[in-house]
Amino acid sequence: MSEEKELLTDTKVGIIGCGHLGQAVAQSLIGGGLQKRNLLISYRGKPQTYQRLEEQGLACCLATNERVFAEAEIVLLTIRPQDLSELRGIAVREKTVTVSCLAGVPLELLSGIFGKRVFRMMLSGPDTIVSGRGVAALYPENGQLKQLLELMGAKHIKTGTEADIDIFTVGVCLPAAILKGVNPDEQKKAIARTKSEYPMLAELYSWALNALPDFRSDAEKTAYISKMVTKGGVTEAITSSLGHGAALDDALKKGIERTKEISAEICRSIAGAVK
């Protein structure tokens, strides 16, 4: 373990929200060497969530939102975007690094709630994070948060602008898109066509090929795709486009369009609530 990574294992990290993603992040941090005494987790009180945390040995890490922000040096937000307004008014220390894992919520809106030390981090699906095959993107880039990703075992995908976060969001839908397609050669040609405009998609295509689990049957494959698809979401926009005969590059562009639409919808719905 590097000296920087060893130092990070003594950093107090908080996770606000403990659904599938929050639990995956918590498990990967502990698996990477973070001490349980340095992990604080808040959740909304669902008995099923508590039971899962207890089974994972993480119930001892539970804390209130207020305590998480009061004690943690890094706070990861893994809540739904529509729950963001519930954090309005919580005191955030000037030195706290707040990291939003919320798709579609821009830094401008986040900084109005949490101050200047705000970052965006998007991660691949919880199953890839837990299995050590995950990828993540940060904006803006930050050395300490890169170390955090290393601790989690997630590969860091570099960004240049905040818009790259949206491209990453589309790229992590590629496992489902690959499975939905029927011609690998045509998929490779389609990805090659995206390289000049969206070079990140080519990098994520290579990741997706290696991240796919082994399926014992077509039923397992279909179930895996269904699990990744949310009604009205980006993955649905991509797989639906493929189902109507679109090439993979055109389907991914549909996904990018849907990402922008969802972001605008989210901003409209929560901007007034957090004022």
Give the DSSP H or E segment for 263.
helix 248-271
pLDDT at 273: 56
pLDDT tens figures, 113-155: 999 899 999 999 999 999 999 999 999 999 999 999 999 999 9
Strands (E), the chain: 13-16, 39-42, 74-77, 97-100, 118-123, 135-139, 155-157
For residue 180, name the pLDDT band (cuts at 50, 70, 90). Answer: confident
pLDDT tens figures, 198-246: 999 999 999 999 998 888 888 988 888 888 888 899 999 999 999 999 9
- Residue of higher predicted confidence among 262 and 8: 262
pLDDT tens figures, 13-27: 999 999 999 999 999
Separation between Cα atoms, residue 126 and residue 129, nearest integer Å: 5
Computed over every residue of the chain, the mean pLDDT equals 92
pLDDT at 95: 93
Q: Domains in the chain, please, with CATH? A: 3-160 (3.40.50.720), 165-267 (no CATH)
pLDDT higher than 90, residue 156: yes
pLDDT higher than 90, residue 2: no
Separation between Cα atoms, residue 6 and residue 129, nearest integer Å: 20
CA-to-CA dists, residue 80 to 19, 36, 40, 172, angstroms: 9, 25, 18, 18
pLDDT higher than 70, residue 1: no
Half-sphere exposure of 217 (CA within 13 A, CB side): 3
The amino acid that residue 83 corresponds to is D
Averaged pLDDT for residues 248-264: 95
The amino acid that residue 37 corresponds to is R
Quote the tokens at residue 126: 């919880």
pLDDT higher than 80, residue 250: yes
The model's pTM? 0.91
Quote the tokens at residue 201: 């998609």
pLDDT higher than 60, residue 3: no
pLDDT at 230: 85
